[in-house]
Structure 1
Amino acid sequence: MSDGPARGSRAIVIEAPGEHRLVERELPEPGPGEVRVRVAAAGICMSDRELHDGHRAPGYVRYPVVPGHEWSGTVEAVGAGTDPGLVGRPCVAEGFRSCGTCERCRYGETSLCTAGYAETGFTEPGAFADHLVVPARLLHPLPDGVDLRAAALLEPAAVVAAAVRAGQPRPGERVAVVGAGTLGLLAVQWLAASSPSELIVVDPRTERAAQALEFGADRVLSPAAADGASGRPFGRYDLVVETAGAPTTAASSCLLARRGGRVVLTGMFAAGATGIDPVHLSVSQLELRSVFGASSAAWADAVRAFTAGLLAPAPLVTHTFPLERFGEALALVGGGAPGTGKVLLHP
């Protein structure tokens, strides 16, 4: 059912690596069990740039594609068999199109679905558009009046929620966050709420220091300073959450952890990244976890933390562009310019 007359819809389509255009298309109609969402805001991240530039692994993209996996919006229409009460609700939705029936899904580990990879914005049409259609079962409704601009960051917040679930922070622990990008700063907010005795951020960009401190970090260290403070050959931190995905940060994060400590890797690493020393890993008896995407449970945690005010991602947004300026917006992402945080598209 729809709440208005038929009309068109615009979308950014990446036809092939390096080739994008803004197209006019028919308004997408939701099928059985689906909803159509009017997009309010959509975030651009490095994986979107990799998608555009052709650097994403072939099994994790399907061209042509409408990108956009970080988004928020309002339900505008529902398909057959879907609750009509959803119309008008602000929302976000999980990106992974998990099957819901495989063993891993049955365990609640929907980000480990064995039915094959499918994700909004990479293999399925995404949110760099006026509208998108998603399965209603993946929807997370939000309260009326919510800041949808901030809610567009709930996808990275869900990844952080998955990392926090894996890391299991405890009050009074010493905690380090490696990287002060979007994931890192959201992790700082979340981990600060666990009452650590010490919470540091490691990042070479001095301009990130002030925001990390505002979000709850006690100190921000350069990688060189963190090396000196770690007490090598073993570190001092009970929990290290890596968010940068830089070539050396998986290995260096393990060196920051104390013996018997816990390390969670959330960054997306490229081939050729520095390997983790297996001797150090075994002698230190580290607990090592990795995160790729977020399960349904992590999404629920992120939405709950956001609506409760525990996570306040709005200050991370520094730039907003219309769809017509997608190329300009994309160029900012990963460009390293001081003052560039999260870049949003606003259809």
Structure 2
Amino acid sequence: MSEIPACPSRAIVVDAPGEHRLVERELPEPGPVDVRVRVAAAGICLSDRELYDGHRAPGYVRYPVVPGHEWSGTVEAVGAGVDPALVGRPCVAEGFRSCGTCERCRYGETSLCTAGYAETGFTEPGAFADHLVVPARLLHPLPDGADLRAAALLEPAAVVAAAVRAGRPRPGERIAVVGAGTLGLLAVQWLAASSPAELAVVDPRTERAAQALDFGADRALSPAEADGVSGRYDLVVETAGAPTTAASSCLLPRRGGRVVLTGMFAAGATGIDPVHLSLSQLELRSVFGASSAAWADAVRAFSAGLLDPAPLVTHAFPLERFGEALALVGGGAPGTGKVLLHP
């Protein structure tokens, strides 16, 4: 009797900057401690655009690679050492492949793992594919019937959760969010739940600022208008990663205020004035990715209906139209929000 061939599974492979192909491969099999997920939706973000354009730092990408670090799906198969009850569960999973044994991981700071950088979609196969294999220990199951289209944005939501943990908002505080992209709008939605006395968003794009008001902000400012309210805010959460926003965000808080930087800055960004930083006694934190605890916060908020990323999604494409989808990301076209791939 002839052997039945394995069910094919498609994936987008970026062989080198600017070069991609849609391949058909054998169905990936989970290892003993892994799960195989049928991908439902995968978000494309500026980091994926940087990967494709060759602008990501060499230590943070490994070509050839299947991109895709923002995703949701359903567990389809499990390894021999994994609970079979997970099969059929909707889920997301942490991107950082932390070791779980180094000192930072033992402290719960899994995004600071000292074993070396490894992340789904950058150094490990990602979710721009029909199927994805990930370690079961990184999995976060979702409630039955969860909106998997919206759940694909739980990765940026986890980054926002990490920023909120670092910023420690308290009821009655004045809070500003710099940037109204995906991270910024999720931050506005999350921070609105902390009962601030004022929640402002700073962005030069009027349509994005208007959307921030729908997400819970009560004030929208242009960068020029923000210059006129320096020293006003208790907490500032920067999400834009633009060349000047790290420095300008540190001018917005009151003396003794708090600033959290979540944007990904490129070399040459404007530096923060150390004199202002020290004289103002600012507390400054940065966020890169999200710890397991921040992921748990994001999944819990989403599952409870406190966080709804669905309105951010404006476009969805099949894998075959990856090039078209990628071109939209970072293009600045009005009306373009989060772009998804649907395998």
Give the match's secondary structure for 2:247.
helix
Deviates more, 1:139-148 or 1:2-11: 2-11
Q: Residue 5 of structure 1: CA displacement?
A: 8.7
Q: Residue 209 of structure 1: CA displacement?
A: 2.0
Q: Residue 3 of structure 1: CA displacement?
A: 18
Give the match's secondary structure for 1:255.
coil
Deviates more, 1:265-274 or 1:201-210: 201-210
Q: 1:131-172 CA distances to partner (integer Å, 9 max, x unpaired)? A: 000000000000000000000000000000000000000000
Q: Residue 210 of structure 1: CA displacement?
A: 2.0
Distance 1:3 1:86, change over 3 A: farther
Between the aligned partners of 2:210 and 2:117, the Cα distance in structure 1 is 38
Between the aligned partners of 1:174 and 1:162, the Cα distance in structure 2 is 19
Gaps of 5+ in 1: none
Contact 1:190 1:311 in 2 (8 A): yes
Structure 1: 4+ residue segments shifted above 6 A: 1-5
Q: Residue 211 of structure 1: CA displacement?
A: 1.2
1:305 and 2:301 are equivalent in the alignment = yes
Q: Residue 228 of structure 1: CA displacement?
A: 1.4
Q: Residue 6 of structure 1: CA displacement?
A: 3.5
Contact 1:34 1:82 in 2 (8 A): yes
Distance 1:69 1:52, change over 3 A: same
Contact 1:91 1:141 in 2 (8 A): yes
Contact 2:186 2:309 in 1 (8 A): yes
Between the aligned partners of 1:115 and 1:288, the Cα distance in structure 2 is 26
Contact 1:2 1:77 in 2 (8 A): no
Between the aligned partners of 2:168 and 2:63, the Cα distance in structure 1 is 38
Contact 1:28 1:36 in 2 (8 A): yes
Between the aligned partners of 1:213 and 1:157, the Cα distance in structure 2 is 18
Between the aligned partners of 1:228 and 1:335, the Cα distance in structure 2 is 30
Between the aligned partners of 2:5 and 2:141, the Cα distance in structure 1 is 24
Contact 1:37 1:74 in 2 (8 A): yes
Between the aligned partners of 2:205 and 2:66, the Cα distance in structure 1 is 32
TM norm structure 1: 0.97
The count of residues paired between Structure 1 and Structure 2 equals 343
Q: 1:304-343 CA distances to partner (integer Å, 9 max, x unpaired)? A: 0001111010000000000000000000000000000000
Contact 2:202 2:209 in 1 (8 A): no
Contact 1:2 1:78 in 2 (8 A): no
Between the aligned partners of 1:99 and 1:47, the Cα distance in structure 2 is 23
1:46 aligns with 46
Distance 1:72 1:153, change over 3 A: same
Gaps of 5+ in 2: none
Contact 2:203 2:221 in 1 (8 A): yes
Between the aligned partners of 2:134 and 2:307, the Cα distance in structure 1 is 25
Distance 1:151 1:4, change over 3 A: farther
Between the aligned partners of 2:265 and 2:203, the Cα distance in structure 1 is 17
Between the aligned partners of 1:236 and 1:150, the Cα distance in structure 2 is 34
Between the aligned partners of 2:335 and 2:22, the Cα distance in structure 1 is 28
Q: 1:61-117 CA distances to partner (integer Å, 9 max, x unpaired)? A: 000000000000000000110000000000000000000000000000000000000
1:134 aligns with 134
Contact 1:237 1:261 in 2 (8 A): yes
Between the aligned partners of 2:5 and 2:307, the Cα distance in structure 1 is 37
2:150 aligns with 150
2:232 aligns with 236
The 5 A counterparts of 1:55-204 are: 55-204=55-204
Distance 1:107 1:3, change over 3 A: farther
Between the aligned partners of 2:2 and 2:122, the Cα distance in structure 1 is 27
Between the aligned partners of 1:77 and 1:8, the Cα distance in structure 2 is 15
Which of 276, 287, 291 is matched with 1:295 structurally?
Answer: 291
Q: Residue 4 of structure 1: CA displacement?
A: 12
Between the aligned partners of 2:250 and 2:289, the Cα distance in structure 1 is 21
CA RMSD of aligned residues (A): 2.1
Contact 1:3 1:76 in 2 (8 A): no
Distance 1:284 1:46, change over 3 A: same
1:316 and 2:308 are equivalent in the alignment = no
Q: Residue 36 of structure 1: CA displacement?
A: 0.2
Contact 1:162 1:295 in 2 (8 A): yes
Distance 1:19 1:300, change over 3 A: same
Contact 2:316 2:339 in 1 (8 A): yes
Between the aligned partners of 2:193 and 2:3, the Cα distance in structure 1 is 41
Distance 1:88 1:5, change over 3 A: farther
Between the aligned partners of 1:127 and 1:2, the Cα distance in structure 2 is 32
Contact 1:2 1:76 in 2 (8 A): no
Q: 1:256-279 CA distances to partner (integer Å, 9 max, x unpaired)? A: 011000000000000000000000
Distance 1:187 1:277, change over 3 A: same
Q: 1:12-68 CA distances to partner (integer Å, 9 max, x unpaired)? A: 000000000100000000001000000000000000000000000000000000000
Distance 1:185 1:342, change over 3 A: same
